[in-house]
Amino acid sequence: MKLLLITILLIGFVGACEARQTIEKPRVIVMTDGEIDDHSSMIRFLLYTCDVDLEAIIETNSIFQRKGHSKEDWYEKRLDAYQEIYPNLIEHNPDYPTPQKLREISFVGDEDENHIKDLYWKDMFKVLIPGSDVIFKPDHWADTPGSDKIVEVLLKDNPAPVYIQAWGGANTAARAFYKLKTQYPDDYEKAISKVIMYNIWYQDGAGVYIEHDHPKVTMLYSASFKGSWDYNSQKDTYDFIEKYVKNNHGPLGALYPQDYISEGDSPSFFYNLVPGLRNDESPTYGGWGGRFVKFKEAPNTYTDAIEDGDKWLSLRRWIDDVNTDYMARMAWCVKSYNEANHHPVISSKTPTMITAKPGEEVILNAKKVTDPDKDKISYTWWHYHFAGDNPYHKEILIDNKNSKKASIKIPKDALGKDLHIILSVEDNGVPSLKSYHRLIISVRD
């Protein structure tokens, strides 16, 4: 029996933003309709802006917020609060964007109620789901500062994907894509192919329009946010919000408008966090923002994956980790670097994918894991047996799964399958924080 020694040591940092300079950050555009849970999501999102290459934040409307909320100052209040805590945040990470930069990349998009005429939430599951018929087209709509910014970003000479998050409606993006197609035909295909759009439902007619008229856009359709992150889903978090967000954590947390965690839109940016989980490589891999599978009726659309018969599990499995991480970020708003906790660091020299044969033993060795705060580290190895395009669905026994060094024996019936092995390392700081690494074992002869 051949023995494979796999040293799991991911280059750079895989759990927090303070040491991720060597990792290319995802390019992100946020579209928000200003609903009350958007107000809450924006507070959390601003604390993760060091993790992304933020291109724009655009205020829009939706069938729920038909006129939008850009005429109100809810968003500006959050930027003002961010400005107050910014000097403290950059003590933990110098990559936080300046308040001025955030203001410069803030725009208003489509808030025209006529563009959602005769569309109401009661009808949305008849007409606003993947594979539906096109309802509206943006051909004769006016451009907006928001749609023009999307065009500008996609025309940049940068091949990296652009993740457009639709917290509300996506009409602003639809108009931008139409303009690219009609006014920049030579650049259109290259530009549009960069887009990965994470949709919290289709909250206007843009989703089905984009599927039909711009099929090169990768569409992620999340419905499982409802029941995991939306209203009434986390009613056990009253004490969490009171103790770790609203009180004694600075002016940004004090703006949190709800009494418990109610952030239906947050999974759209969770998808872009935690590079060690590698869910940016495929929607089927799964991470903090959930896991997705191909939708048969639309060639480049993905919908929520069902795991163990549960459509919420791919999001719920991470909730405790996500909220504990948020607790630490809130502490960064008011505490010095030495007073706060920071994520363990996993470093590596070896590939994140290997090939093994059935019957072989693979040794998993987290040889070098450090903690910036000198905390004690614990280890957990587990098999994410739903993950990937070609998963091995059976559970795999991992010997010494809670040790730095573990091992697995490749099942004989796993030939042709891919095994997604996740390493979670957790410190014993306050709050305890996790970093992750994913190894994919391709089982071949």
Give me the residues paired with residue 106 across strands: 57
Mean pLDDT of the chain: 93
What SS3 class is residue 241? helix
What SS3 class is residue 406? strand
Q: Which of 19, 269, 25 is nearest to 165 (CA)?
A: 269
Q: Which of 3, 7, 97, 18 is nearest to 344 (CA)?
A: 18
**DSSP 8-state assignment for residue 368:** -
Q: Which of 408, 228, 384, 380 is nearest to 311 (CA)?
A: 228
Structure-model confidence comparison of residues 15 and 23, the more confident one: 23
> Is a pLDDT exceeding 70 seen at residue 19?
no
Q: What is the pLDDT of residue 352?
A: 87
* DSSP codes, 192-211: HTTEEEEEES--STHHHHHH
Q: Rounded to the nearest 10 degrees, how much is the dihedral formed by the CA atoms of 400, 404, 409, 413? A: 100
Domain boundaries, the chain: 3-13+343-443, 17-332
Q: Which CATH number fits domain 3-13+343-443: 3.40.640.10, 3.40.50.720, 3.40.50.11540, 2.60.40.10?
A: 2.60.40.10
> Is a pLDDT exceeding 90 seen at residue 17?
no
State the architecture of 17-332 in CATH terms.
Alpha-Beta Complex (3.90)
- Band (pLDDT 50/70/90 cuts) for residue 299 is confident
Q: What is the pLDDT of residue 367?
A: 80
Each residue of 155-180: pLDDT tens digit? 999 999 999 999 999 999 999 999 99
Q: What is the pLDDT of residue 24?
A: 87
Each residue of 331-366: pLDDT tens digit? 999 999 999 999 999 976 545 899 999 999 999 988
Q: What is the pLDDT of residue 348?
A: 60
What is the rounded distance in angstroms from the CA atom of residue 238 to the CA atom of residue 145? 38
H or E segment and range at residue 163 = strand 162-166
User: Is the Cα dihedral 293, 297, 298, 300 positive or negative?
Assistant: positive
What is the rounded distance in angstroms from the CA atom of residue 230 to the CA atom of residue 225? 6
Each residue of 40-71: pLDDT tens digit? 999 999 999 999 999 999 999 999 999 999 99
Confirm if 150 and 56 have CB atoms less than 8 A apart. yes
Q: How far apart are the first and last CA of the chain?
A: 14
